[in-house]
Amino acid sequence: MKLYVARHGQTDYNQQKKFYGSSDVPLNANGRKDAAKLADKFEALPLGLIVTSDLKRARQTARLIIATHPESDSQLSSKLEESHFGAWEGLNADEIQATFPEDWQNWLDDPFHVSPTNGENFQDFNTRVLAGLKNILSDAASNDHVLLVAHLGVLRVINQSFFPESNFWKQKFPAGTYSVYQLDEVGRCVGVVYDV
């Protein structure tokens, strides 16, 4: 199986460097260009299943791809939503530091074990995403080509599940590109190409 993964296009919050995991913001003009670029890359690729985070920016990114693959099944998945940042949603790093200085520093010191203020902790996020991936791969057993359109944190969790020794923060998954994992019959990754 080939598992394609793509990040949603740019939003205004991306440009403003804001934390906005569960905020349902749309693509901006550049994000719509990212989505069109991605759709062009997928136009000639066979896709049996397209699964998208249910947040607007991911749905908008996937829309053109779905339109050019009418034979494909498509699904929305709340398990592919970005990590929820609680009280930090809509704030940039300086604003978070000014408003929640102790929480911010604790999170910077140990982001895998300290939660954002009133937000989702990493272990719950990781468990949610991997449960969603497991369900998708199970549903897609008869499909050779599956696309996930999601968020940076989600794609990093998936990447680290295949490569546990990798640096979680390393992979950037740029908008307008896709990466592809070659999976064997039991779901192990036997090859990967990043940022096509």
* Cα 80 from chain centre: 7
Locate tokens 């440009």: which residue? 15
* Residue 178 contacts residue 42 (beta carbons within 8 Å): yes
Q: What is the 3-state secondary structure (H, E, C) of 168-188?
A: CCCCCCCCCCEEEEEECCCCC
**Catalytic pick among 82, 84, 120, 145:** 82
Alpha helices in the chain (DSSP H): 12-15, 29-42, 56-67, 93-99, 101-109, 122-139, 152-162
The whole-angstrom separation of Cα 26 and Cα 55 is: 9
The whole-angstrom separation of Cα 176 and Cα 6 is: 8
Query: Is-catalytic flag, 82?
Result: yes
Query: Is-catalytic flag, 151?
Result: no
**Catalytic pick among 8, 69, 84, 151:** 8
- 48 by DSSP, 3-state: which? coil
| Active site (catalytic) residues | 8, 82
